Amino acid sequence: MLNKRRGTEREPTFSSDIPQEENVSYSSSPPVDRKTIIGEHISIEGSIHGKESLIIEGAMKGKIELEKNQITVGTKGRVEAEIHADNVTISGRLTGNIKALGKVSITKGANFTGEIKARSISVEDGAYLKAAIELEREHQKGIPPDAKPVSQGVKPVPSFEKKPVIPGADPIKKN
């Protein structure tokens, strides 16, 4: 009817002669470079937990836990959250607390209000930052984190005895 020829349609082939893709990974851990993007027209309220990096260009309110991954608040992102991640980059608006295992980067277009606890931080000129910041030190071998430095061979400076000041008396003259 439509000039169809009989016998020219192919049946699906399931033989082992078809080359298999060699770089397919079926492990339960995701590739390192995977990212999820929350678009600028998406709004989320609640908790986000995951094992890949996250870029937020939309609105988010709640808690974000991506311990070994990167969180980026894009230029159009609006976030009110408690964040736990490896590294955090802020280019949009973020209000909340950040606990980063690595670095927090605040770019020139960012607007951040809250608390930051991280190993390092960078703030570009032009960024708005109103924060309490605690930078964690890398612990040195053999020194407990709360240990006070001990000076060897240094004697304490003797305290000077303060004498009362009498108004009208000349402190230089001795009686």
**Model confidence over 102-129: pLDDT tens digits?**
999 999 999 999 999 999 999 999 999 9
**154 falls within a domain:** no
Q: What six digits make up the tokens of 22?
A: 């060699």
Q: What six digits make up the tokens of 126?
A: 């032009």
**7 falls within a domain:** no
pLDDT at position 22 is: 43
The yes-or-no verdict on residue 10 having pLDDT over 50 is yes
The yes-or-no verdict on residue 130 having pLDDT over 90 is yes
The yes-or-no verdict on residue 155 having pLDDT over 70 is no
**2 falls within a domain:** no
**90 falls within a domain:** yes
**108 falls within a domain:** yes
Host domain of residue 58: 35-135
Gyration radius of the chain's alpha carbons: 31
CA–CA separation, 130 vs 115, rounded Å? Answer: 8
Number of domains in the chain: 1
CA–CA separation, 118 vs 95, rounded Å? Answer: 16
